[in-house]
Structure 1
Amino acid sequence: MPMPSGIATVALTGRYIRPDGTPLKGSVTIAAPSLLTLPGADTISAGSATVTLDSAGAFTLTLIATDNPGMQPTSWTYQVTEKFQDIASRTYAIQLPSTLPTVSIADIAPADPSTGQYILVPGPEGPAGKSILTGAGTPSPLLGANGDVYIDTTPGAVKMYGPKASGTWPSTGISLGGGGGLISSINGKTGTVVLSPADIGAEVAGAAATAKTEAVNAATAAIATAKTEAVASAATAAQATYLPRAIVPVTQLTAMSLFYIAHRGSGGEFPEHTLEAYESAVAAGARAIEVSVRLTADGVPVCIHDEALTRTTYATGDVSTWNYQALRHKVLTNGRQLLGQGRVDVPIPTLREVLDRFLGKVVIFLEPKSNPSVPVVQQLLTDFYPQAKDSVVWKNYYLATSFPWAKQNGFKTWAYVDAATTDAQMDALDQSLVDYWGVPTGMADARVQAVVARGKPVIAWEVHRRSERDRLASLGVKGMMCSELIYVRRTGPSRTSDDFATQIKAPGDLGTVNYDAMYALKFDDVGGSAYINSMSNRSVLLGSISNPTPPATYTIRFDMMYEGVPAATEHAGIAFGKASDDIYRFSQVNATGGYHIAIRGNGDMQMYTHAAGVTSGTQIAATSAAVTAPTVGGWMSFTVDVTPTTVTLTRTDLGTPVVISATNSTFRGGYVHLSTGSITSTSTKPHWRNVSITTP
């Protein structure tokens, strides 16, 4: 392709053959600086040009001249890279001024040394990109880059030219040998030289011997010093290269107006304090994780919250009674009980596994939970993680005695209090030891505000719901330590229908008691259905499919069945229309209002409003004639249609659908709950499946 007009060019030619005349096979690449601006031609050039040698080992390449007027940058050079089959490649610099329209690369390429033996001597690295070039005769003005040095190797007249400056070699070289050169005598003797032992350094008595000894000692000392400095330099380089650096330092995280921490690795969504939990939370975008540590009987720090194994594993006894290898191979976490039997149980990780995987990549709120684990964790950080202070927050109860160590070693500290902690107790703690205060989610508003008013960032734990986050943020809390981090951070539903068939709890599907398997959603082994195994007026928020800002018109569909036929007036169903994701409880005071649907044991269908702060609901629609009653294990199907002015419930599994409707626009929120209503026995508990929320 022709060069744009207004650009001066040079034709670079070349030919490469073997000593027997056979053409070489290979390529030549000519690379310019990353960007060349040629304003005279309204053109920018970038990159490199590569040409493959032809059958004669030759090439011709038209290139932009290196002295085009107005070009930026100026005084630059091409980098030539020669790559040949079976021959080592080489790279060198050339200039191509427009005064020479055609240039042979043989005239400007540097020559390789033809004689002599060379020993590589390690030394300090020279200036980047500078070269010592060799050849016979004066250097071509096209050879080399600014800063390069050229050695004319003509026998008997060795000269040095350079360094090259402003694209020009010096007109004369400095003689290095031959007549009148720098190397012109041996021990001050010229002409026919006869060397004595002293001339060649033979050992002589007296001062010469002393001088030799001193020289040897000085050389030995210099070598020792150089070795010490080299080791120190290598250690510093290795530390900078291999030790983890904080991608998001602690101070950057806590400077955010609102930040999130995965409580126990977001233990309401993943098996708490496991590598799976930490990996999943970080994969979902968590910038910080909370890590709890306890000590095995043989002194290995492992990540687990409780001392007793009963709650989070299938084993019994305390962590401190198990040797690590037994714990590793015999104890698995029981996340299946809280999060669904579709999960695979996993082992308890060591603290080193977690630190090696995540240190420097996220902020770690680290808490040794047992007294014996404190010095072990401190020593581990000191010995193996000297940069941990950049991305680790030392976390503990405000009365813990480990804060002085943390501050002396450069760590930020988080001291958490409880509802009974007084201002006097907080004042008694040296304020220089606390960087962040921690408050429980359930602490009264006025008390949270009082802690915030102390002027240090406040972090609340454990945050399960968006409504909890919103309340705490309004009180001035900056950090949210979330057990449902994925759900709380999302602003919309993750799907439009349930995924009960996976038998894995979705983020945001929450029971009425946190971290308690008794109140969590359970999954049937067949049929893709779910149930609640506690009948004391419980519910489960379906946060995964609830839309916080629903459209004006939408439809809820669900199937429901009873294991056994409940009493005629007992009922279960769903709650919907809530503007907040706070807990729903039938026949109890709720923080926010919504609608409740009751499907009774005799088949009656009723619809209620349930206002905030009121115990009982108000009926707004009900069936007026007998409806087919539920049967044992018989699935019933329903739709709920919500418009700006009406709410309509339809039972659709009957030959003739049964419909009840109310003109009511009181509640138009998007949160939906499954509710056990007034069912009193697990033997008649309801099951749900095929729950979806769609728009027309």
Structure 2
Amino acid sequence: MQHRSAEAQDRDEPTAGAQLMVERDETPGSAVSRRAVLGLGVVGLGVVGAVGAGMSGALDLWPGRATATPEIPDGAANLTGGHPIATKPPASVADWRAGGPPFYIAHRGAGIVLPEHSLEAYHAALDWGATCLEISIGMTSDGVLICLHDATYDRTTTLTGPVAEQPSAVLAKGRIDIPRLGPRWQGDGRPQIPLLDDVLAQIGPHAILCLEAKDDNAFKPMMKAAAAHGLNGRIYAKLHLPATARVAQARAAKVPIFMYAGTATDLAPARLDPVLRDLDRARDVIVLPAVVDNAPIDPRIVSRVVGRGVPVWMYPVMRRSEALHFLSLGAQGLITPDIGYVSSTTASAQADTWAKGALASGELTRFPYSEKFGVRWGDPATDAGVIRLDVPGESSYLLLGQLCPVAPPDGSYQLEFDYRFDAPATPEHALTVAFGRADDRYVGPTAEAGSTGYRVVLRPDGYAALLADDGGTTPTRRTLAQASIEPTPVDVPVPGWKRLGIAVTPTSISVSRAGVEVLKSTHTAYRGGYVHIGRDGRRGPISLRRVRVTTPGDPRGAQA
């Protein structure tokens, strides 16, 4: 039996070391700068349904699924405008595409918020407005089709070894196991590895499915299973370029093609152009990688492929700024593992969900699919509701996207959280809060071209500063205020939890610790709504808990 190489299996993964940096179109009223807030909230962890402004009780707009579904006004736009979130499932691929771009495709369900390729993640994607999902499929040695990204069980489950070399009987004791997502998804909370038949039955009636056979031998059985469920008019066949044999099989079944070009070699005109000529512009799509060889894809490549006329979808799209960037280049589809956040169908929250042992939609590390860059979780018995920033040998930042954009009517808000230095004092690491950012691009320790906003920096040796990052071709960083608070000698443990507060008004910024103001500035240039919390330096973990955003007159803030 032939298996794809490890390189081929993982070539649609974001590559460590690459960071997508984009420029934002700030033209007032431009299509790519619009953001319509739908006013939708999420119950609990956001898995069992959405409620919020505009709800009129628990609606069952998708028969057969017991879930509260948000009532969305006719014509309500998502993040980018132009394509309303559907209030009913599309009848066919043609029906779905007739709605016009942009198209949002849920990757691995909600694969960076809930355990990837679990029924829980697929249902969460539907609850967040997904009308199209990408599904990866393997086949056991006795011919049972399952939903799993890799050819082996090792990375995402409690089982080990190749899927194709073991019978389906092993599934009874296997569970999906992704520790970075939190203790909610550990122990008895670990989901089962789903059978494709169950996914087609539960998810197929409610969304378009992009089906990918990870094993060549699974392709024909996968297509047969979709047909048995009456889904041939509601699926794409996801293929990796050039996939000549599978193209013929998909054409014979009259199924449109989702063609993925995942490497620099695939993107070369001599290899890609013949494939583009053979794709049907009215039915098929070409998928381009956001990252190629450790660097963001050259926008000229995207524009060139867009110009060939076949609809272009981009993968992976983790952030709203990335979505705006690719749509501005002419891409029509965005393949995202956090569809609720990227499409803005989840409302901005005012507090973290860490006490529930889970991440919220919009909480993003540098590489959200990476265990290395994932947050560390406190022991539920002794440190419930605590996360730790501790990437070995590197700085570590977390986007608090679930709170963003912080956009109070009068421009005033307060961000508060508890922090704890979990290592003896050293000038080599610091807690950093980056706020006032215009968009959600990843914030690292250095000033970056085009990125503006503020930083509060606290070191365990007592140094504190309020800084301004001034973007531009040659970015600069200015110190607006600094102080020394409770100095701690180097290599001496820093005692206990401290509460940090950052109060922003239209005319000032005030930073307090334990209720006492320690830094202040009247700088007013940057009032963007995106926030990161980070640990600078190569060593020294920092723990966080009880994040809150409060705004004047907001009753939710008073309850936080």
Contact 1:300/1:324 (CA < 8 Å) preserved in 2?
yes
Please state how far the C-alpha of 1:490 moved relative to its aligned partner: 1.3
Contact 2:421/2:494 (CA < 8 Å) preserved in 1?
yes
Q: Distance in 2 between matches of 1:259 and 1:633?
A: 50
1:295 counterpart letter in structure 2: M
The answer to whether structure 1 residue 528 and structure 2 residue 390 are counterparts is no
Q: Could you say what secondary structure the match of 1:415 adopts?
A: strand
Q: Could you say what secondary structure the match of 1:572 adopts?
A: strand
Q: Distance in 2 between matches of 1:492 and 1:547?
A: 12
Among 670, 674, 695, which residue is 2:529 paired with? 670
Deviation by residue 1:94-140 (Cα, 9 ceiling, x = unmatched) = xxxxxxxxxxxxxxxxxxxxxxxxxxxxxxxxxxxxxxxxxxxxxxx
Q: Which residue of 2 aligns with 1:544?
A: 402
What is the aligned residue count?
Answer: 441
The answer to whether structure 1 residue 408 and structure 2 residue 257 are counterparts is no
Please state how far the C-alpha of 1:252 moved relative to its aligned partner: 2.2
Q: Could you say what secondary structure the match of 2:403 adopts?
A: coil
Q: Distance in 1 between matches of 2:164 and 2:336?
A: 28
2:355 counterpart letter in structure 1: A
Q: Which residue of 2 aligns with 1:495?
A: 349
Please state how far the C-alpha of 1:393 moved relative to its aligned partner: 0.7
Q: Which residue of 1 aligns with 2:180?
A: 338
Q: Distance in 2 between matches of 1:332 and 1:598?
A: 41
1:687 counterpart letter in structure 2: S
1:589/1:246 Cα in 2 relative to 1: closer, same or farther (>3 Å)? closer
Q: Which residue of 1 aligns with 2:268?
A: 422
1:246/1:632 Cα in 2 relative to 1: closer, same or farther (>3 Å)? closer
Among 430, 433, 438, which residue is 2:287 paired with? 438
Among 612, 636, 649, which residue is 2:498 paired with? 636
Please state how far the C-alpha of 1:303 moved relative to its aligned partner: 0.7
Contact 2:276/2:310 (CA < 8 Å) preserved in 1?
no
Q: Distance in 1 between matches of 2:193 and 2:384?
A: 32
2:232 counterpart letter in structure 1: K
Structure 2's unaligned 5+ residue stretches are: 1-87, 292-296, 553-560
The answer to whether structure 1 residue 274 and structure 2 residue 132 are counterparts is no
Q: Distance in 1 between matches of 2:223 and 2:174?
A: 26
The answer to whether structure 1 residue 291 and structure 2 residue 135 are counterparts is yes
Q: Which residue of 2 aligns with 1:305?
A: 149
Q: Could you say what secondary structure the match of 2:372 adopts?
A: helix
2:520 counterpart letter in structure 1: S
Q: Distance in 1 between matches of 2:450 and 2:195?
A: 41
Please state how far the C-alpha of 1:250 moved relative to its aligned partner: 0.7
Please state how far the C-alpha of 1:305 moved relative to its aligned partner: 0.7
Q: Distance in 2 between matches of 1:352 and 1:433?
A: 29
Q: Distance in 1 between matches of 2:239 and 2:454?
A: 43
The answer to whether structure 1 residue 397 and structure 2 residue 240 are counterparts is yes
The answer to whether structure 1 residue 475 and structure 2 residue 319 are counterparts is no
Q: Which moved more, 1:526-535 or 1:447-456?
A: 526-535
1:465/1:614 Cα in 2 relative to 1: closer, same or farther (>3 Å)? same
Deviation by residue 1:519-575 (Cα, 9 ceiling, x = unmatched) = 122321224221122051110001011225454111111111111222146321311
Q: Distance in 2 between matches of 1:451 and 1:433?
A: 12
Please state how far the C-alpha of 1:576 moved relative to its aligned partner: 0.8
Contact 2:390/2:396 (CA < 8 Å) preserved in 1?
no
Q: Which residue of 2 aligns with 1:234?
A: none
1:648/1:658 Cα in 2 relative to 1: closer, same or farther (>3 Å)? closer
Deviation by residue 1:620-662 (Cα, 9 ceiling, x = unmatched) = 1101x55354954511112111122322111126xxx242111
Q: Which residue of 2 aligns with 1:578?
A: 437
Deviation by residue 1:343-388 (Cα, 9 ceiling, x = unmatched) = 2101211111111222232100011111121222233345x24x42
Contact 1:246/1:390 (CA < 8 Å) preserved in 2?
no
Please state how far the C-alpha of 1:687 moved relative to its aligned partner: 0.9
Q: Distance in 1 between matches of 2:439 and 2:334?
A: 18
Contact 1:296/1:322 (CA < 8 Å) preserved in 2?
yes
Q: Tell me: higher relative CO, structure 1 or 2? Use CA pairs within 8 A at least 6 residues apart.
A: 2
Please state how far the C-alpha of 1:611 moved relative to its aligned partner: 3.0
**Normalised TM-score (structure 2):** 0.75
Please state how far the C-alpha of 1:339 moved relative to its aligned partner: 1.1
Please state how far the C-alpha of 1:673 moved relative to its aligned partner: 0.9
Q: Distance in 2 between matches of 1:315 and 1:478?
A: 38
1:338 counterpart letter in structure 2: R
Among 350, 355, 361, which residue is 2:200 paired with? 355
Q: Distance in 2 between matches of 1:355 and 1:388?
A: 8
Please state how far the C-alpha of 1:432 moved relative to its aligned partner: 4.1
Deviation by residue 1:411-463 (Cα, 9 ceiling, x = unmatched) = 11111213522223223237344411111123221111111111122111111
1:273/1:538 Cα in 2 relative to 1: closer, same or farther (>3 Å)? same
Q: Distance in 2 between matches of 1:634 and 1:593?
A: 32
Q: Distance in 2 between matches of 1:305 and 1:457?
A: 25
Please state how far the C-alpha of 1:499 moved relative to its aligned partner: 1.9
Q: Which residue of 1 aligns with 2:512?
A: 650
Please state how far the C-alpha of 1:396 moved relative to its aligned partner: 0.8
Q: Distance in 1 between matches of 2:475 and 2:430?
A: 17
Among 284, 302, 310, which residue is 1:456 paired with? 310
Contact 2:398/2:532 (CA < 8 Å) preserved in 1?
yes
Contact 2:400/2:530 (CA < 8 Å) preserved in 1?
yes
Q: Distance in 2 between matches of 1:522 and 1:279?
A: 26
1:564/1:310 Cα in 2 relative to 1: closer, same or farther (>3 Å)? same
1:621 counterpart letter in structure 2: A
Among 261, 277, 280, which residue is 2:105 paired with? 261
**Normalised TM-score (structure 1):** 0.60
Q: Distance in 2 between matches of 1:587 and 1:559?
A: 24
1:545/1:556 Cα in 2 relative to 1: closer, same or farther (>3 Å)? same
Contact 2:109/2:117 (CA < 8 Å) preserved in 1?
yes
Q: Could you say what secondary structure the match of 1:373 adopts?
A: helix
Deviation by residue 1:297-325 (Cα, 9 ceiling, x = unmatched) = 11211111111222111222111122111
Q: Distance in 2 between matches of 1:310 and 1:618?
A: 47
Q: Which residue of 2 aligns with 1:601?
A: 460
1:332/1:588 Cα in 2 relative to 1: closer, same or farther (>3 Å)? farther
Q: Which residue of 2 aligns with 1:566?
A: 425
Q: Could you say what secondary structure the match of 1:265 adopts?
A: coil
Among 660, 663, 667, which residue is 2:519 paired with? 660
